[in-house]
A and B are shown apart, each in its own frame.
Chain A
Amino acid sequence: MTSRTVFYNIIRFFFLISFQVLILNHIYLGGFINPYFYIYFILLLPFDTPKWMLLISAFVIGICIDIFTNTIGLNAAASLLMAFCRPFAIIVISSGPESLIGDTPSLRNQGIKWFLYYATSLVLIHHFALFYLEIFRLNEFFLTFTRLILSSIFTMTLVMISEYLLYIQGK
């Protein structure tokens, strides 16, 4: 991991927090669908990030989002779970070491199929934890499930758009 990668990740960290807090938290599609795009930071951490660093940075970005939405612990718990699952997701999805070329997971290096599996599974894990921790009861199971799926689709759309933009740029 070069110091350049570290620098890019720090910039991305602050950019995604302000983007989430200042813009995305004010967007409601269809009344109650809200994207949680800040987890793009965790998706894009380099492959060789130390595992403790992965957990700590996920925890910190979650707490930062929580401070601005006054739900201390909610986003932190969800993104922490997502960061915990990330190494396992990479192992399960990758067919061999040849799919881990490049520094960070991206559409350009790993191909669309790999990246879709990777991002979708982690976004779903994050949203699942987030939405069910928020309501903390099971009697609205299916309603929450609908909201969870719709928000995941919204987040995934944003992730794929920004990946595609990076893809064009890199060409």
Chain B
Amino acid sequence: MRNLFVFLRERYFYLLFLILETISLVLLVNNNDFQKSSLFVVSNNLSGSVNSIFSNISEYFSLRKTNSVLIEELARLHSRIPEAFYVTDKNVFYKKDSIVHLEYKYISAKVISNSTNKRNNFLMINKGSLHGIVNHMGVIIGNKVVGQVVGVSPHFSWIMSLLNKDSRVSGKFKKNEQLVNVEWNGVNYRIGQLKEIPKHIQMVKGDTIISSGNSDIFPPGLMIGAIADFTITPDENFNRGQIFFSTDFNSLGYIEVVVDLMRQEKETLKSSFKTQ
């Protein structure tokens, strides 16, 4: 017993190091499951309030930019209202409630912390579960893709942006609806990588990539980016490409969270097939 104490006294530095290092590694690994970690909620509220103070100050510096984004968005919405259409035949434009059903609803929120310089980048916004946000909702700015919700606390949400090693967005070519995957390799926050482009697709630089709507996260037709460069690889099954993101991830002020009102129905349908 005495030897044990002597041993502990001599080696306590190594033991303490091992204990603390194990604790931090366990925390690190468990923290990948954001929603399960109660620590996350606590730290989320604390760091959320600090970050809100910071962004309340810094948002004044980007008011001009925010204004121009809002005006663009207003112009887009103006072009959608019924008065903007020239009505040729009443019967064609008559909408019946049972035919047109609202599928997507949008919650606007302010970005209070953001990064583009890490390998895995996240955003925090000032709305959370109290405002109806749940995990795996899509996040957009204007009609451009930003990322998806990965953690919520009552007042804040944690969003994985496209600039993340775990991010994989299903997109398609606007011209021929061919599906591709968009990922990010961690180098330049304006440039993303296109994976699994089928061999037979004829690409040109500048081809538009839009969201496919296959993943239940984003509505179809949102802008992801335009092809900046591509390589034809004769010895592989798919070609690769570079995509210039439409979204400027470094200047996100106000974003919108996409609420899919039919998500429950879609998931029930999917799971009913899985169980059989």
Contacts and interface: CB of A to CB of B under 8 A. Distances in A.
Genuine A/B complex? yes
B40 interface: yes
Contacts of A63: 24
Contacts of B46: 67
A119 interface: no
Interface string A132-153: 0111010010011001000000
Contact of A31 (B16, B28, B50, B117): B117
Contacts of B20: 55-56, 59, 76, 80
Nearest to A131: B119
A59 B17 CA distance: 10
A84 B16 CA distance: 10
Contacts, number: 107
Contacts of A76: 20, 24, 27
Interface centre among A33, A66, A144 (most CB of B within 10 A): A66
B187 to A, nearest CB: 7
B37 interface: yes
Question: Quick one: which of B21, B46, B122 has the most chain A CB within 10 A?
Answer: B21
Interface stretch (A21-29, A96-104, A162-170): A21-29
A118 B44 CA distance: 36
A80 B21 contact: yes
Contacts of A74: 24, 28
Contact of B21 (A51, A81, A131): A81
B205 to A, nearest CB: 22
A55 B43 contact: no
B62 interface: no
Contact of B31 (A33, A73, A80, A84): A73
A23 to B, nearest CB: 10
Nearest to A83: B17
Contacts of A31: 116-117, 188-189
Most chain A CB within 10 A, of B37, B43, B120, is at: B43
Nearest to A28: B117
A52 interface: yes
Contact of A34 (B21, B118, B189): B118
A134 B13 CA distance: 26
Pairs A-B, 8 closest by C-beta atoms: A73-B28, A73-B27, A28-B117, A76-B24, A77-B24, A32-B117, A67-B43, A73-B24
9 contacts: A28-B250, A32-B189, A59-B20, A63-B24, A71-B31, A73-B29, A133-B28, A135-B120, A135-B165
Interface of A: 21-22, 25, 28, 31-34, 51-52, 55-56, 59, 62-63, 66-74, 76-77, 80-81, 84, 87, 131, 133-135, 137, 140, 143-144, 147
Given A76-B20, A143-B185, 11 more contacts: A22-B50, A25-B115, A32-B189, A59-B23, A70-B40, A70-B47, A77-B24, A84-B21, A134-B118, A143-B186, A147-B186
